[in-house]
Amino acid sequence: MNLIQPLEKSDRPILIAGPCSAESEEQVMKTAEQLAIHNVPVDLFRAGIWKPRTRPNNFEGIGRMGLQWLKRVKAEFGFRVTTEVAKTEHVFDALKAGIDVLWLGARTTVNPFSVQEVADALKGADIPVFIKNPINPDLTLWIGAIERVYSAGITRIGVVHRGFSKFGHTIYRNVPQWQIPIELKRQFPDLMILCDASHICGNKEYLFEISQTALDLNYDGLMIETHIDPPNAWSDAEQQVTPFELKEQILNRLQVRTPDIEGAEFRENIEDLRSQIDVIDRELIQMLANRMQISDLIGKYKKKNNISVLQPARWNEILEKTMEQAKPLELSEEFVEKILKAIHQESINHQEKIMIGKDFKSRVS
Ligand code: PEP
Ligand code: MN
């Protein structure tokens, strides 16, 4: 693929900002106005016009009339504008209204029929397109969507990483699984990649941290949802920030590294590696928590069937199998054994808690 950058790069990260959904002309215009007043460096003003909702009877978007509001934003504030398209009519309407950039949402990328429909509608158009990752952690599906859009003649393509859905409780709405976009970048080094921190977080709390991690991992920029009155937003109320908060609490705090100072390359490499380590550590903790959740389920089953917590044969099997796996991976036996025992001990504590209903600190060595 011979990709062209969908947006111009500068020495600061690219920013796509705007409300999750266009709700009313006033809400759209006021949000844009606040962004302008606070000098937020907006490269693209976003607003969902057609909203794919997980469950029915939620606000499904204002529809094509909202495109006129985006045109007003462009005319009055000079921001270029973008929206999500998922169907042929969306593409036609958006092109007709002069929308500058389009994006495919996670619920579209996941479905090759839908991606193909959008790609077919795009044939002959000359417009940049961003492709969000699919809902599930499947890199091939993501690449497939890029290829379908590229085959339709679109060469200005970028991607947006918005995290992946996961069953069970996590601190994120969509877990980042950074290693997936990192692998995508490895395969397509020139592909522009933005991080949609809002949909990864699902709340305001981690927006800064996720945005910083993305920049530390050399992302080209960010997509962040911003709304004039977040608590009363018609969609994604918990994760939106006001334009002022976006500027003060996120953008002003972000560290952007400049590549042209002495020793910068070295520092950049080290920081890159450290960010990757931080990411892996966070994931390790999450994986351990997931393992304990499964262990709890086994504990409940054991209790119901009156089976003892410790099954020596099973424990031996885990130990042997894992040590075997660790051998060629250059992890010392001593280290792996220590970790496994600590994990096993925690599992036992969890299951004992289920059996007897209180903390039980036994030692298995
Ligand atoms: C959005 O950006 O408003 C949206 C619906 O995002 P996603 O496709 O990532 O869920
Ligand atoms: Mn949203």
Q: What is the mean pLDDT of the chain?
A: 92
Checking DSSP bridges between strand 101-104 and strand 44-46, what pairing results, if any?
Answer: unpaired
Whether the predicted pLDDT of 275 surpasses 90: no
Whether the predicted pLDDT of 25 surpasses 90: yes
Instruction: Find the range with the poorest average confidence among 15-19, 33-37, 50-54, 92-96.
Output: 50-54
Instruction: Look up residue 340 and give its two tokens.
Output: 């496994």
pLDDT tens readout for residues 172-225: 999 999 999 999 999 999 999 999 999 999 999 999 999 999 998 999 999 999
The atom of ligand 1 lying closest to the CA of 48 is 3
pLDDT tens readout for residues 81-101: 999 999 999 999 999 999 999
Residues with CB under 6 A from ligand 1: 20, 48, 105-107, 132, 162, 196, 199
In single-letter form, the type of residue at position 289 comes to: A
Minimum CA distance residue for ligand 1 atom 4: 105
Beta-carbon neighbours within 5 Å of ion ligand 2 = 20, 236
The atom of ligand 1 lying closest to the CA of 199 is 9
User: Which strand (E) or helix (H) includes residue 160?
Assistant: strand 157-161
Distance CA 320, CA 318 (A): 6
- Residue 205: per-residue pLDDT: 94
Q: List C-alpha distances in Å: 230 to 9, 21, 55, 245.
A: 30, 11, 21, 11
- Residue 258: per-residue pLDDT: 62
Instruction: Find the range with the poorest average confidence among 111-115, 225-229, 352-356.
Output: 352-356
Instruction: Look up residue 57 and give its two tokens.
Output: 């009877």
- Residue 267: per-residue pLDDT: 73
Taking residues 65-78, report their average pLDDT: 98
Task: Tell me which of 107, 114, 235 to substitute to probe ligand 1's pocket, judged by most ligand atoms within 8 Å of the beta carbon.
Answer: 107
Whether the predicted pLDDT of 362 surpasses 50: no
Q: List C-alpha distances in Å: 137 to 109, 115, 160.
A: 12, 17, 14
pLDDT tens readout for residues 116-128: 999 999 999 999 9
Residue with tokens 């111009």: 8
Q: Where are the alpha helices (DSSP H) in the chain?
A: 25-37, 65-77, 88-96, 106-109, 112-122, 139-151, 179-187, 197-201, 207-216, 243-245, 264-304, 312-326, 333-356
Distance CA 336, CA 95 (A): 57
- Residue 260: per-residue pLDDT: 53
